[in-house]
Amino acid sequence: MTDAPVLSLRDVRKSFGPVEVLHGVDLDLRAGEVLALIGENGAGKSTTMKILAGYQPATSGRILLDGEEVSFGSLHEGEEAGIVMIHQEFNLAEQLTVEQNIFLGRELHNGWFLDKARMRRLAREYLDRVNCTVHPDTRVSQLSNSDKQMVEIAKALSRDARVLIMDEPTAVLTGSETETLFEQVRAMKADGTAILFTSHKLGEVAAIADHVTVLRDGAVVHDGRAADIDEDGMATAMVGRDVSDLYPDKAGAPDDVVLRVTGLDVPGHAEGVGFELRRGEILGIAGLIGSGRTEAMEGLCGLRPARAERIEIDGAKIDIRRPSDALEHGLCYMTEDRKLRGLLLDKSMRVNLTLQSLDQFGGLMIDRAAEERALDRAIEEFDIRAGRREMRVGNLSGGNQQKLLLAKVMMSDPSILIADEPTRGIDIGTKQQIYAFLRTLAASGRAVVMISSEMQEVIGLADRVLVMRLGRVSGTLSGDEITEDAIVRLAMGVGAGDSERAA
């Protein structure tokens, strides 16, 4: 099945200003083959993909399409050549419907008018192929992230791509959604499509890829058949050091209770949620997407309307009506969505870092020098790597954004940190740093709540695990009880095998 490559890069270099970010990359995409492009955040994966798809020109080097050198003048020419890219940040018009998005820019016509019937039929067909049950008339703004991803894929299917490039397609998908996606990938592969995808989930890479290319610091450090490299080998190649010891050691004996919540209701999302959090521990919250984990914690922190029977911090009953109440009591929530809720993408690191805790930087007037010093410390402590200090945060890599977000919430020095998906979409090296940080934080006499959809992370890091299902706590696990099997049983409801997605 390996014949001549469809699309290739030869000694491609890319510079942004004086900084060269790709140092001579070679890459081959073959028909009927899945290539996994992996590497740490900032290794150059996104840039490589954008050059392949014609979003960005290369500074030097050649792009070969069917062996012929091409240069895509625009994105459109890339698509004309049958190259479709699905972005990590969704490229969907939020106010249009699913169907309108699928056919956006290439609407089907029937003379002067739109051929709505045919578009409806085809939209339905594409959505069915990816097992997506949303109605074609739903507005994209009302969809969950995973549904948006499926719509993106349906859109790509409608393009009849020869080459499909997917930037972390599984980052927001649940396990079974990922499986649905992979079925489609296999089907497209069988049809002769060349597929490139990136993922930080190395297990998936091993499962679906035929070929693995590893990038580190803008250069290819490994290139070979997927069968010839195991997950540890991939991680080592990506990071350049041994990462088998991903999770820090767990804590010893639990301490006294610092947070006790009973009867927390978040209308429409969670009901009667109660739990205890002890000093020095990391409490994992597991559950399916949509099980009300995020909403419950947001409600607890005053970020959305909620009511609780009783909230105690250090034994004292407290009232939380707005976010500032939570912060005053040392309770801080770190959002799962760093791009839409966490960071101001068009502002600098300094502005983002201090936004939540501006009170620390002078009264009415802001002490900029103090802000700069805080940024120095944060860059040092959280190992944030940015080309320039003043660059837009939106131009940072995902891992560095996540570290900045962590630094931002830590500015208020919380005694209880609720971290929602703290490692979503970031590379394994950064994950390791964040795990170590959370453990150190807990060990220093604080407490951490970590919401996560990654089973391995919950099992590896949490001292106790609380599982939510349909807006309620379905169980708590600790010590040796924390197993993948036990969590899945609680998350799905014992015996409830098929109705997986909850309200």
Partner 1 sequence: MTSETTNSPMRRALPSMSVLGPVLALIVLVVIGASLNANFLGTANITNVLARSAFIGIIAVGMTFVITAGGLDLSVGSMAAFIAGLMILVMNAALPSLGVGVPIILLGMAVALLAGLVAGLLNGFLITTLGIEAFIVTLGSMGIYRSLVTWLADGGTLSLDFELRTFYRPVYFDGILGISWPIIVFAIVVIVGELLMSRAKFGRHCAAIGSNESVAHYSNVDVNRTRLLTYAMLGLLVGVATIMYVPRLGSASASTGLLWELEAIAAVIIGGTVLKGGFGRVWGTVIGVLILSLIDNILNLTDLVSPYLNGAIQGVIIILAVILQREAKAKG
Give the separation between CA 61 and CA 351, rounded to whole angstroms: 38
Residue 440 CA to residue 435 CA, distance in Å, equals 9
Q: What is the residue type of 9?
A: L
Q: Does 342 bind partner 1 (CB under 8 A)?
A: yes
Residues 290-309 that bind partner 1 (CB under 8 A): 303
Site membership for partner 1, residue 221 (CB under 8 A): no
Specify the residue for token string 């994966």. 45
Which C-beta is closer to partner 1: that of 233 or that of 387? 387
Q: Which is nearer to partner 1, 395 or 478 (CB)?
A: 395
207 sits near partner 1 (criterion: CB under 8 A)? no
**Cβ of residue 63: shortest distance to partner 1, in angstroms?**
22
Q: Which of 360, 409, 344, 351 is nearest to 382 (CA)?
A: 409
Binding of partner 1 at residue 143 (CB under 8 A)?
A: no
Window contacting partner 1 (CB under 8 A); options: 71-79, 260-268, 344-352, 446-454: 344-352
Q: Cβ closer to partner 1: 225 or 347?
A: 347
- In contact, 422 and 438? CB cutoff 8 Å: yes
Applying the rule CB under 8 A, the residues between 479 and 498 that interact with partner 1 are none
CB 416 within 8 A of CB 443: no
The pattern of x and - marking residues 47 through 66 that bind partner 1 according to CB under 8 A reads --------------------
Q: Which stretch binds partner 1 (CB under 8 A): 12-20, 158-166, 258-266, 485-493?
A: 12-20
Amino acid at 402: Q
Cβ closest to partner 1, residue 390 vs residue 498: 390
With CB under 8 A as the contact rule, the residue among 193, 335, 402, 432 that binds partner 1 is 335
Smallest distance from partner 1 to CB 250, Å: 30
CA distance 20 to 398: 19
Q: Which residues, 364 to 403, sit near partner 1 by CB under 8 A?
A: 364-366, 368, 379, 385-390
Site string for partner 1, 271-290 (x = CB under 8 A): --------------------
Number of chain positions touching partner 1 (CB under 8 A):
43
Whether residue 172 contacts residue 153, with contact meaning beta carbons closer than 8 Å, is answered with no
C-alpha 89/C-alpha 91 separation (Å) is 6
Which member of 4, 104, 190, 344 binds partner 1 (CB under 8 A)?
Answer: 344
CA–CA separation, 18 vs 482, rounded Å?
50
Tell me if 345 contacts partner 1 by CB under 8 A.
Answer: yes
Put the strands of the sheet holding 60-65 in their side by side order: 19-30, 5-16, 60-65, 68-70
C-alpha to C-alpha distance for 69 and 64, rounded to whole angstroms: 4
462 neighbors 72 (Cβ within 8 angstroms): no
Give the strand pairing for 331-334 and 416-420: parallel
**Choice between 145 and 356, CB closer to partner 1:** 356
Identity of the residue numbered 55: Y
Closer to partner 1 at the Cβ: 307 or 389?
389
Indicate the residue among 26 and 500 with the shorter CB distance to partner 1: 26
Structure tokens at 70: 């091409």
- Scan for tokens 């703290």, then name that residue: 422
Distance from C-alpha of 415 to C-alpha of 105, rounded to nearest angstrom: 50
Determine, following the binding rule CB under 8 A, whether residue 356 of this chain makes contact with partner 1: yes
- Cβ of residue 456: shortest distance to partner 1, in angstroms? 27
List of residues contacting partner 1 (CB under 8 A): 18-21, 42-44, 217-218, 303, 322-324, 327, 333, 335, 340-347, 351, 355-359, 364-366, 368, 379, 385-390, 408, 412
